[in-house]
Amino acid sequence: MKANILGVLIDKTNINEVLEKIDDFLADGKKHYIVTPNPEMVAEAQKNSEFKNILNQADIAIPDGFGLLLASSWLRDRIKKRMTGVDLIWRLAENIEKTNYKLFLLGGKDGVAAEAAAKLKEKYPALKIVGAEEGMKDNEFYITNPKLVEKINKAKPDILLVAFGHGKQEKWIYYNLHSLETVKVAIGVGGTLDYISGKAKRAPNILRRLGLEWCWRLGKEPWRWKRIITAIIIFPWLVLKNKK
Protein backbone atom coordinates (compact mmCIF):
# COMPACT_ATOMS: atom_id res chain seq x y z
CA MET A 1 0.00 0.00 0.00
CA LYS A 2 1.16 3.51 -0.80
CA ALA A 3 0.15 6.94 0.42
CA ASN A 4 -0.16 9.77 -2.09
CA ILE A 5 1.50 12.92 -0.77
CA LEU A 6 1.15 15.70 -3.35
CA GLY A 7 1.47 13.18 -6.16
CA VAL A 8 4.50 11.41 -4.68
CA LEU A 9 3.81 7.79 -3.71
CA ILE A 10 5.17 6.75 -0.31
CA ASP A 11 5.09 3.16 0.94
CA LYS A 12 3.03 2.40 4.03
CA THR A 13 5.49 -0.08 5.41
CA ASN A 14 7.84 -0.79 8.29
CA ILE A 15 11.54 -1.53 8.39
CA ASN A 16 11.12 -5.30 8.75
CA GLU A 17 8.90 -5.43 5.67
CA VAL A 18 11.41 -3.35 3.70
CA LEU A 19 14.24 -5.70 4.68
CA GLU A 20 12.14 -8.68 3.57
CA LYS A 21 11.51 -7.00 0.23
CA ILE A 22 15.23 -6.30 -0.19
CA ASP A 23 15.92 -10.00 0.44
CA ASP A 24 13.44 -10.81 -2.33
CA PHE A 25 15.03 -8.23 -4.65
CA LEU A 26 18.48 -9.72 -4.10
CA ALA A 27 17.19 -13.15 -4.99
CA ASP A 28 15.03 -12.42 -8.04
CA GLY A 29 17.80 -11.53 -10.51
CA LYS A 30 16.27 -8.17 -11.46
CA LYS A 31 17.33 -4.60 -10.76
CA HIS A 32 15.58 -2.47 -8.15
CA TYR A 33 15.99 0.93 -6.58
CA ILE A 34 14.81 2.46 -3.34
CA VAL A 35 14.28 6.14 -2.55
CA THR A 36 13.93 7.86 0.81
CA PRO A 37 11.60 10.85 0.31
CA ASN A 38 11.33 13.61 2.89
CA PRO A 39 9.26 16.83 2.83
CA GLU A 40 11.97 18.73 0.93
CA MET A 41 12.00 16.10 -1.80
CA VAL A 42 8.22 16.07 -2.11
CA ALA A 43 8.24 19.87 -2.36
CA GLU A 44 10.96 19.71 -5.04
CA ALA A 45 8.88 17.16 -6.97
CA GLN A 46 6.08 19.72 -7.33
CA LYS A 47 8.19 21.78 -9.71
CA ASN A 48 10.27 18.99 -11.23
CA SER A 49 8.20 16.41 -13.09
CA GLU A 50 11.27 14.33 -14.00
CA PHE A 51 12.18 14.02 -10.32
CA LYS A 52 8.60 13.11 -9.37
CA ASN A 53 8.52 10.43 -12.06
CA ILE A 54 11.80 8.93 -10.82
CA LEU A 55 10.53 8.85 -7.23
CA ASN A 56 7.27 7.22 -8.31
CA GLN A 57 8.98 4.52 -10.36
CA ALA A 58 11.07 3.36 -7.39
CA ASP A 59 10.38 -0.11 -6.07
CA ILE A 60 10.16 1.25 -2.54
CA ALA A 61 9.81 4.83 -1.26
CA ILE A 62 10.36 4.91 2.48
CA PRO A 63 8.92 7.81 4.55
CA ASP A 64 12.04 9.59 5.79
CA GLY A 65 10.57 12.67 7.40
CA PHE A 66 8.19 13.37 10.28
CA GLY A 67 6.36 15.90 8.12
CA LEU A 68 5.25 13.12 5.78
CA LEU A 69 3.47 11.39 8.66
CA LEU A 70 1.63 14.58 9.60
CA ALA A 71 0.73 15.28 5.98
CA SER A 72 -0.56 11.75 5.43
CA SER A 73 -2.81 12.05 8.48
CA TRP A 74 -4.13 15.43 7.32
CA LEU A 75 -4.77 14.01 3.85
CA ARG A 76 -6.43 10.91 5.37
CA ASP A 77 -3.95 8.57 3.71
CA ARG A 78 -2.07 7.73 6.84
CA ILE A 79 1.53 6.55 7.08
CA LYS A 80 1.97 5.09 10.54
CA LYS A 81 5.69 5.37 11.12
CA ARG A 82 8.72 7.25 9.85
CA MET A 83 11.69 5.20 8.69
CA THR A 84 15.04 6.98 8.42
CA GLY A 85 17.74 6.08 5.94
CA VAL A 86 20.20 5.76 8.83
CA ASP A 87 18.10 3.14 10.60
CA LEU A 88 17.53 1.25 7.37
CA ILE A 89 21.22 1.02 6.47
CA TRP A 90 22.29 -0.15 9.94
CA ARG A 91 19.61 -2.86 9.84
CA LEU A 92 20.49 -3.78 6.26
CA ALA A 93 24.16 -4.20 7.22
CA GLU A 94 23.12 -6.48 10.09
CA ASN A 95 20.84 -8.42 7.76
CA ILE A 96 23.45 -9.16 5.09
CA GLU A 97 26.54 -9.51 7.30
CA LYS A 98 26.56 -13.30 7.27
CA THR A 99 25.63 -13.59 3.57
CA ASN A 100 27.75 -13.34 0.44
CA TYR A 101 26.11 -10.09 -0.67
CA LYS A 102 28.56 -7.25 -1.27
CA LEU A 103 28.06 -3.55 -0.55
CA PHE A 104 29.46 -0.44 -2.25
CA LEU A 105 29.22 3.04 -0.66
CA LEU A 106 29.25 5.92 -3.14
CA GLY A 107 29.13 9.64 -2.39
CA GLY A 108 29.52 11.92 0.58
CA LYS A 109 32.43 14.32 0.88
CA ASP A 110 35.93 14.36 2.34
CA GLY A 111 36.28 10.64 2.90
CA VAL A 112 32.85 10.19 4.50
CA ALA A 113 32.10 7.01 2.52
CA ALA A 114 35.31 5.36 3.72
CA GLU A 115 34.65 6.45 7.31
CA ALA A 116 31.09 5.13 7.13
CA ALA A 117 32.41 1.83 5.76
CA ALA A 118 34.82 1.60 8.68
CA LYS A 119 32.00 2.19 11.18
CA LEU A 120 29.83 -0.47 9.53
CA LYS A 121 32.71 -2.95 9.55
CA GLU A 122 33.47 -2.13 13.17
CA LYS A 123 29.98 -3.20 14.18
CA TYR A 124 29.55 -5.96 11.59
CA PRO A 125 33.06 -7.37 10.93
CA ALA A 126 31.90 -10.01 8.44
CA LEU A 127 30.13 -7.42 6.26
CA LYS A 128 31.55 -7.46 2.72
CA ILE A 129 32.20 -3.88 1.58
CA VAL A 130 33.89 -3.81 -1.83
CA GLY A 131 34.04 -0.05 -2.38
CA ALA A 132 33.70 3.23 -0.52
CA GLU A 133 34.44 6.50 -2.26
CA GLU A 134 33.19 9.96 -3.07
CA GLY A 135 32.78 9.17 -6.74
CA MET A 136 32.54 12.78 -7.87
CA LYS A 137 32.47 16.25 -6.41
CA ASP A 138 29.43 18.54 -6.51
CA ASN A 139 30.96 20.78 -9.15
CA GLU A 140 31.67 17.86 -11.47
CA PHE A 141 28.41 15.93 -11.18
CA TYR A 142 27.53 14.06 -14.35
CA ILE A 143 24.57 11.79 -14.96
CA THR A 144 26.75 9.88 -17.42
CA ASN A 145 30.12 8.89 -15.97
CA PRO A 146 31.49 5.77 -17.70
CA LYS A 147 34.65 5.62 -15.57
CA LEU A 148 32.62 5.53 -12.36
CA VAL A 149 30.30 2.85 -13.73
CA GLU A 150 33.34 0.82 -14.80
CA LYS A 151 34.88 1.12 -11.33
CA ILE A 152 31.68 -0.10 -9.69
CA ASN A 153 31.38 -2.97 -12.15
CA LYS A 154 34.94 -4.08 -11.36
CA ALA A 155 34.06 -4.23 -7.65
CA LYS A 156 30.96 -6.38 -8.39
CA PRO A 157 28.66 -5.20 -5.56
CA ASP A 158 25.13 -6.51 -5.09
CA ILE A 159 23.93 -3.41 -3.21
CA LEU A 160 24.88 0.19 -3.98
CA LEU A 161 24.30 3.09 -1.57
CA VAL A 162 24.38 6.45 -3.36
CA ALA A 163 24.82 9.68 -1.39
CA PHE A 164 25.00 12.51 -3.93
CA GLY A 165 22.24 14.51 -2.24
CA HIS A 166 18.57 14.35 -3.11
CA GLY A 167 17.71 14.90 -6.73
CA LYS A 168 21.18 14.05 -7.98
CA GLN A 169 21.39 10.60 -6.44
CA GLU A 170 17.96 9.50 -7.63
CA LYS A 171 18.64 10.67 -11.18
CA TRP A 172 22.05 9.01 -11.18
CA ILE A 173 20.58 5.71 -10.06
CA TYR A 174 17.70 5.92 -12.52
CA TYR A 175 19.93 6.54 -15.54
CA ASN A 176 22.81 4.23 -14.59
CA LEU A 177 21.31 1.21 -12.84
CA HIS A 178 20.93 -0.72 -16.11
CA SER A 179 24.70 -0.35 -16.71
CA LEU A 180 25.69 -1.64 -13.27
CA GLU A 181 26.22 -5.27 -14.09
CA THR A 182 25.98 -6.91 -10.65
CA VAL A 183 23.96 -4.34 -8.69
CA LYS A 184 20.58 -5.74 -7.75
CA VAL A 185 19.51 -3.02 -5.30
CA ALA A 186 20.48 0.66 -5.38
CA ILE A 187 19.42 3.00 -2.59
CA GLY A 188 19.56 6.80 -2.54
CA VAL A 189 20.69 7.59 1.00
CA GLY A 190 21.26 11.36 1.14
CA GLY A 191 23.09 12.36 4.31
CA THR A 192 22.98 8.86 5.80
CA LEU A 193 26.72 8.28 5.35
CA ASP A 194 27.45 11.49 7.27
CA TYR A 195 25.54 10.11 10.25
CA ILE A 196 26.96 6.61 10.05
CA SER A 197 30.52 7.96 9.79
CA GLY A 198 29.98 10.20 12.81
CA LYS A 199 30.59 13.40 10.86
CA ALA A 200 27.04 14.50 11.66
CA LYS A 201 25.28 13.84 14.97
CA ARG A 202 21.67 12.70 15.13
CA ALA A 203 19.19 14.65 17.19
CA PRO A 204 18.28 13.24 20.62
CA ASN A 205 15.52 10.62 20.54
CA ILE A 206 13.02 12.90 22.23
CA LEU A 207 13.34 15.52 19.49
CA ARG A 208 13.01 12.87 16.79
CA ARG A 209 9.88 11.43 18.39
CA LEU A 210 8.32 14.89 18.65
CA GLY A 211 9.16 15.82 15.07
CA LEU A 212 11.50 18.59 16.21
CA GLU A 213 14.67 17.26 14.62
CA TRP A 214 14.75 20.38 12.46
CA CYS A 215 15.51 22.47 15.58
CA TRP A 216 18.60 20.36 16.22
CA ARG A 217 19.72 20.61 12.61
CA LEU A 218 19.21 24.35 12.51
CA GLY A 219 21.34 24.75 15.62
CA LYS A 220 24.08 22.43 14.34
CA GLU A 221 23.98 23.44 10.68
CA PRO A 222 22.53 26.96 10.36
CA TRP A 223 23.59 27.14 6.70
CA ARG A 224 20.81 24.64 5.94
CA TRP A 225 18.12 27.18 6.81
CA LYS A 226 16.66 27.24 3.29
CA ARG A 227 16.12 23.48 3.36
CA ILE A 228 14.55 23.69 6.81
CA ILE A 229 12.21 26.46 5.64
CA THR A 230 11.15 24.20 2.78
CA ALA A 231 10.44 21.33 5.17
CA ILE A 232 8.60 23.18 7.93
CA ILE A 233 6.88 26.03 6.05
CA ILE A 234 6.69 25.50 2.28
CA PHE A 235 5.83 21.79 2.42
CA PRO A 236 2.98 22.21 4.97
CA TRP A 237 1.63 25.14 2.93
CA LEU A 238 1.61 22.99 -0.21
CA VAL A 239 -0.24 20.25 1.64
CA LEU A 240 -2.87 22.67 2.95
CA LYS A 241 -3.19 24.31 -0.45
CA ASN A 242 -3.71 21.02 -2.26
CA LYS A 243 -6.02 19.28 0.20
CA LYS A 244 -9.29 18.43 -1.52
70 confidence band (pLDDT: 50, 70, 90): confident
- What value does the mean pLDDT of the chain take? 86
**Residue 44 pLDDT > 90, yes or no?**
yes
Nearest to 116 by CA among 30, 196, 25: 196
Cα–Cα distance for residue pair 227/140, rounded to 1 Å: 22
Domain ranges for the chain: 2-242
Beta bridge partners of 11: 2
**Residue 211 pLDDT > 60, yes or no?**
no
The alpha carbon dihedral of 104, 106, 58, 41 has a sign of: positive
Q: Which amino acid is at 198?
A: G
Q: Which pTM value belongs to this model?
A: 0.88
